[in-house]
Amino acid sequence: MSETYKGAKILVVGGAGFVGSNLVLKLLEQAPERVVIVDNLLSADITNVPDHPAVDYRYGSITDDKILQELPEDTEYVWHLSCLHGNQSSIADPMLDHENNTLTTLKLLERIKDFPSLKKVVYAAAGCAVAEKTFDEAEATFEDAPVSLYHDSPYSISKIIGEFYGNYYWRRHDVPFVKCRFQNVYGPREILGAGRWRGTRHTVWRNVTPTFIWKALHHEALPLDNGGFASRDFIFVEDMARGLMAAGLKGEAGEVYNLASGVETTIKDLAELINELTGNPTPADIAPARDWDRSGKRFGSTEKSKEKLGFEAQVSVRDGLERTVAWTRDNQDRIERCIRQHDWFMARV
């Protein structure tokens, strides 16, 4: 990139989370003047906040009026990454999803709409909100794919509503809003069970890749819903951070970009590769399809982000999983601490 974030004044909402903390670390490499992180640790761990003189961490939700009023009005770049992680958690508690997905976006945009120095507001949208629900051969989902009125989860609904609000604030208030549609992000700093108890087992087991790696390292059977037939586009978190940074510098206000690898990987293939890399001898546990899940197969088109942002994923699934397995081994104590605290709650539900 010809431009950098040197000397920039930055806000990362959700900056203590998995993707957010990786993004902050990459931003710090370019010597910004200030990085304000707002995170209520609903699904994050405090150890993910970098100890760096440019980092100003503020504990709480971006829906908190006091936090909103104290945001620096000279902020130049905003990444809005906070959310209630996971489709299943949103199904279990739609109101909690609304509070941490939809409401966060609306209140943030209403507060920053008149900030005089805003150069870009980058929103973490979701590829699942527009991907075709197919169990036939998958075709790449493009940015101009039609949006269905029928969704599998409140999470998916909230994410597309966030795009709607961003479009409105761009057209009505000239907020330089850019949408980045995430695919399935995986990699280091995703801590199973991080954050507060949210009422179901999916507080811990909410994402497939860290769940599979943890179970495989402990020689447990990896659960394959519907035989692992479904497929996803898995993108390594450092690639995602680079894509988010490219969107901040090169993304056009009002536009949407897929941040994807463009590679379709079945859940069965993912499980087999993780078992190979971890030396897990236990056969997979073949299970029926989940009753709520109609998403089937999907992956994202990379053409627009390559042409407009100059972004391409660089890390293959194998290389990314090797790095993630190594990180998980090195951080077992952190992960076990988070899992144990939620085991205590689960035993009492």
Q: What is the DSSP secondary-structure string of 155-191?
A: HHHHHHHHHHHHHHHHHHH---EEEEEE-EEE-TT--
**Token pair for residue 131?**
């991907």
* Domains detected in the chain: 9-343 (3.40.50.720)
> For position 295, what pLDDT does the model report?
58
Please state, in angstroms and rounded to a whole number, the distance separating the CA atoms of residues 251 and 170.
13
**Residue-wise burial string across 167-181, b where 16 or more C-beta atoms lie within 10 A, e elsewhere:** eebbeeeebbbbbbb
> pLDDT tens track of the chain, all 349 residues?
448 999 999 999 999 999 999 999 999 999 999 999 999 999 999 999 999 999 999 999 999 999 999 999 999 999 999 988 888 899 999 999 999 999 999 999 999 999 999 999 999 998 888 877 666 677 778 888 888 899 999 999 999 999 999 999 999 999 999 999 999 999 999 999 999 998 888 889 889 999 999 999 999 999 998 888 889 999 999 999 999 999 999 999 999 999 999 999 999 999 999 999 999 999 999 887 766 555 577 789 999 999 999 999 999 999 999 999 999 999 999 999 999 998 888 887 6
Q: What distance in Å separates the CA atoms of residue 37 and residue 49, rounded to the nearest whole number?
A: 8
Question: Is 26 buried (19+), middle (13-18) or exposed (0-12) by CB count in 10 A?
Answer: middle
Calpha distance 44→171 (Å, rounded): 33
- Whole-number pLDDT of residue 291: 64
What predicted TM-score, i.e. pTM, was given to this entire model?
0.94
Nearest to 195 by CA among 20, 83, 42, 38: 42
Distances (CA, A) of 130 to 125, 133, 145, 161: 10, 9, 6, 12
